Amino acid sequence: MKLRGVVSFLTVILGLVFCDLVQRFLIGPWVWLMPSSRVRVLGAWIQAMAWVTSRPLVFLGGASIARPPQIPCEPGVLIVMNHQSLLDIPTVCLSVSGGYPLIVTRKRYRRWIPLISHMIRLYQYPVVDPRANRQETMRMKDNLREVARTSVLPVAIFPEGTRTKNGEIGRFKKAGLSLILQARPWKVYVLVGDGFWKYAKFTHFLSGISEMNGEVEFVDMFEWDDPTADPKPFIAEIRERMIGHLARMREGSVA
């Protein structure tokens, strides 16, 4: 273990505990009592949480984490990004200013995780569960479809569903992304991150965090204007573009 890694790790953990208390006893009641302020308050709060969970790694740990590209907070925006680390979550949140994205999340994270579990419920993230029974799966699909169809906020999804050990673009789990695409027309903003995969969990911050060089780049904006079309070729094109962009990012870092 290295001292800078330990200090930054402990700072992040203390920040999560503090944010959990503030979120439960201040932010949650605030938006419940004043629902008209929901987007403004939760948007500002998620930016603060993203800062708390990432910037100590830079200031104290010596990591390099570039600010992500900015994406408009408006209806009909879909964000697709690869998944390398827990830091992907604050990164995609920081990419949306003036609001917050609705992130498709695994159901198991809704319980027993400080800050995160309450956050999923407070922000009303749509959840998925590959192990759910048929009836529960149908309910989750209906909810995801309704969120995708009616949301006035951007929707974000990590279609790989899980992190890869080498940071390469993994196979897409197409069901959730297909369902979202079939709900309405979208402007699909595609992002690719790299440099985070060696630090997939918080415990990885304890050693070598100063060597982290994480960055997120904008690949392209794709127009999806026919929800009745077969989404599979469109999804395949997005994945191929992400694979190619990641390869170019890595060639540039070597050069």
CATH number at residue 67: 3.40.1130
Token look-up 């929800």 returns: 227
Domain range holding 138?
A: 3-254
Confidence band, pLDDT 50/70/90 cuts, at residue 229: very high
Q: How many CB atoms lie within 10 A of CB 113?
A: 14
Confidence band, pLDDT 50/70/90 cuts, at residue 1: low
Least confident interval from 114-123, 159-168, 198-207: 198-207
Q: Provide the token pair at 84.
A: 């390398």
| Torsion sign across C-alpha atoms 146, 233, 165, 129 | positive
Q: Burial of 33 by CB count in 10 Å (0-12 exposed, 13-18 middle, 19+ buried)?
A: exposed
Domain count for the chain: 1
Is the full-model pTM beyond 0.75? Answer: yes
Instruction: Give per-residue pLDDT as tens, 233-245.
Output: 999 999 999 999 9
Instruction: Give per-residue pLDDT as tens, 56-93.
Output: 989 888 889 999 999 999 999 999 999 998 889 999 99
% of the chain beyond a pLDDT of 90: 72
Per-residue model confidence (pLDDT) at position 97: 86
Average pLDDT over the chain, rounded to an integer: 92
Instruction: Tell me the C-alpha distance between 88 and 196, whole Å.
Output: 8
Asked if residue 199 has pLDDT above 90, the reply is no
Asked if residue 15 has pLDDT above 60, the reply is yes
Instruction: Give per-residue pLDDT as tens, 143-154.
Output: 999 999 999 999
DSSP annotation string for the chain: --HHHHHHHHHHHHHHHHHHHHIIIIIHHHHHH-GGGHHHHHHHHHHHHHHHHHHHHHHTT--EEPPPPPB---TTEEEEE---STTHHHHHHHTB-SS--EE-EEGGGGSSSTTHHHHHHHTT--EE-TT--HHHHHHHHHHHHHHHHH-SS-EEE-TT-S--TT-------HHHHHHHHTTS-EEEEEEEEES-GGG-SGGGGGTTGGG-EEEEEEEEEEEE--TTS-SHHHHHHHHHHHHHHHHHHHHHHH-
142 closest CA partner among 185, 235, 132 = 132
% of the chain beyond a pLDDT of 70: 95
Confidence band, pLDDT 50/70/90 cuts, at residue 202: low
Instruction: Tell me the C-alpha distance between 169 and 42, whole Å.
Output: 31
229 vs 206, more confident: 229
